[in-house]
Structure 1
Amino acid sequence: MLQDHKPYLHFTGRSQLDKSINSLIGIVEGIAIDQEINEREVCFLQDWVREHQELQNRHPYSELMPVVHAALADGVLTEEERDDILWLCQQLTSTGYYDQVTADLQRLHALLGAILADGVVTEAELQGLSSWLADHEHLKTCWPYDEVDSLVVSVMADKKIDAEEQATLRSFFSEFISFLDNTTIVSPVIAEQGGVTGLCAVCPEIAFEGARFCFTGASSRYKRTEIAEIVQKLGGEMASDVSAKVDYLVIGAEGNPCWAYACYGRKVEKAVKLRKEGKRIQIVHEHDFHDAVSDA
């Protein structure tokens, strides 16, 4: 975790708790979504346990961890054990900090990562995912619900997953496979104008003179003040928030542990909404931003 993030964690204790348990719900749902659970999927759940090991003596993890440990003791997750974990998670979570949409999106993100835990997306998993999406239609218009739905519908049109479709699914789902908050989105997709395209621009042409930039997450190279100085030196200006007047939203490579979701936060969500409304805002990855600075 970057040093700049640590002071903020003090103010997000409840949100971090809710996010972690919502993620656990999504993981358990995801690895069991095809009614089968294999060794690599169990290992994916064990990764969540290791990530939260230091909290096992604190409430409510002190109640949750023994149940998860007992379920994983034999390396198998039975249907009864799954239901016990999900039931307890439901008792421990609240929507006092997050609304239901945010909580369900956190579950969706973890679910996608769990589906890809064994490196392959199967037809049975997509059928299970399709049912989950149908039960959560209140998430429509929220990224990445529409994108996931579009992918599932297009891939399952012929009820088979070919090699190209498998690669597309793996590329998209892999964005959600890490529990750690030191990663950020790289190449996810967005549903626009009846099709599915990349969320982050590919090899974008970034012009600084007279352009307005906004930054989200954390940079792998510079502090936020240093980025502002670079932009201003090259003739652009920095905005503190996303709006229709922003030309570029730059996504930091290091992410931010205070984000509502592990791989992006409110600014990306807002930019996606503006894009879908037809506003001309480019979402670019920090690496492309650095390339543009070097070229300038």
Structure 2
Amino acid sequence: RQELLELLRDLIGGEPAAGKTINFASALPLTQPAPDIVFAGKTFCFTGTFAFGQRKDCHAAVARLGGTPQDKVTTRLDYLVIGSLGNEDWMHSTFGRKIQQALDFNAKGRGIAIVSEDAWAQAQCAAE
């Protein structure tokens, strides 16, 4: 048990405060209010680390529901999904290229929805 506890502490970057969990994606620029997530005919890109599984698993779930997974943020993107495990660097520096690209496109009026993994996973479960 001690070995597992040490591994988990290493994975989350230390020990969370009592009663708290670490969610690096929580302070990110998510679209507010959270949009309804539609899969059919929509494009999705993923960034960060996902509790749902590997990125290929997220892509497969989108494709199964009629959406199109993309590896890059483009002007044709509908949703950028941020993994709930995020990236520790986001707490201390920039958000990362995909998030910044989506923000830049949105500043030009594109309207890419930036959503959390939790919102995406709930919509995915509801759609199946």
Deviation digits for residues 120-153 of structure 1, max 9, x if unmatched? xxxxxxxxxxxxxxxxxxxxxxxxxxxxxxxxxx
Question: For the Cα contact (< 8 Å) 1:220–1:252, is it kept in 2?
Answer: yes
How far apart are residue 244 of structure 1 and its match? 0.7
Q: Percent identity?
A: 34
The answer to which structure has the higher helix fraction is 1
Separation of aligned partners in 2, 1:263 and 1:293: 29
Matched with 1:200 is 31
Cα 1:222–1:289 change in 2 (3 A) is same
Count residues in correspondence.
Answer: 109
The AA in structure 1 aligned to 2:66 is G
Cα 1:218–1:263 change in 2 (3 A) is farther
How far apart are residue 187 of structure 1 and its match? 5.1
The AA in structure 2 aligned to 1:277 is K
Which of residues 96, 112, 116 in structure 2 aligns to 1:265? Answer: 96
Matched with 2:17 is none
Question: For the Cα contact (< 8 Å) 1:208–1:231, is it kept in 2?
Answer: yes
The answer to which structure has the higher strand fraction is 2
User: Gaps spanning 5+ residues in structure 2: where?
Assistant: 1-6, 15-21
Runs of 4+ in 1 over 2 A off after TM superposition: 182-189, 199-203, 256-264
How far apart are residue 220 of structure 1 and its match? 1.5
Matched with 1:184 is 24
Superposed counterparts of 1:210-249, under 5 Å: 210-249=41-80
Is residue 2:86 matched to residue 1:255?
A: yes
How far apart are residue 260 of structure 1 and its match? 9.3
Question: For the Cα contact (< 8 Å) 2:41–2:68, is it kept in 1?
Answer: yes
Deviation digits for residues 167-196 of structure 1, max 9, x if unmatched? xxxxxxxxxxxxxxx63232556xxxxxxx
Which structure is larger by alpha-carbon Rg, 1 or 2?
1
Please give the TM-score of this superposition, normalised by the length of structure 1. Answer: 0.33
Cα 1:290–1:251 change in 2 (3 A) is same
User: Gaps spanning 5+ residues in structure 1: where?
Assistant: 7-50, 52-181, 190-198
Partner SS, residue 232 of structure 1: helix
Question: For the Cα contact (< 8 Å) 2:52–2:58, is it kept in 1?
Answer: no
The AA in structure 2 aligned to 1:276 is A
How far apart are residue 200 of structure 1 and its match? 2.7
Superposed counterparts of 1:1-296, under 5 Å: 183-186=23-26, 188=28, 199-257=30-88, 261=92, 264-296=95-127
Aligned Cα root-mean-square deviation (Å):
2.6
Structure with bigger RCO (C-alpha 8 Å, 6+ apart):
2
Partner SS, residue 110 of structure 2: coil
